[in-house]
Amino acid sequence: MTVRSIAAAAATLAVLCGCAPPAAPTNDPSASPTTTAASSNPFSLFTHCGIYEIQVQHTFFVADQPLDDGHGNPPAGWANPYQPGTITVAGFTAVFHDDTGHAVTFHERPGATSFLRTCS
């Protein structure tokens, strides 16, 4: 095939693709996009060295306000090494809640593949 043949074929294809009639509007509500409500799932928050970050499935999140007792332990009133509760992920935010009233908000670290800190 010559360069002219390739150029002619490309031009014809571009014209044909651009000439389709507009799609007919639809009144079918099932075809409309839907939003999914965020759901809470049971979650054991690792607290042993303080509360800094979490991993939910394959996504890493960092605490908006890290929590510790100043000596690398969880703050008073938190279980050690884990605090049972629930996690709710909505968009780039994850919120941990427990039955004692604790709440911690985390934000996603896009592209992260590991934790920022390790705990011994």
At residue 47, φ and ψ (nearest 5 deg) are -120, -5
| DSSP designation for 19 | T
42-91 pLDDT, tens digit each = 999 999 999 999 999 999 999 999 999 999 899 999 999 999 999 999 99
Higher pLDDT, 26 or 116: 116
Q: Within a 10 A sphere around the Cβ of 59, how many other Cβ atoms?
A: 15
Length of the chain: 120
Q: Is residue 73 within 8 Å of residue 89, measured between CB atoms?
A: no
pLDDT at 15 over 80: no
Higher pLDDT, 120 or 108: 108
16-45 pLDDT, tens digit each = 333 333 333 444 444 444 445 678 999 999
Among 84, 75, 86, 87, which residue's Cα sits nearest to residue 48?
75
DSSP three-state, residue 43: strand
C-alpha to C-alpha distance for 61 and 59, rounded to whole angstroms: 7
Higher pLDDT, 19 or 5: 5
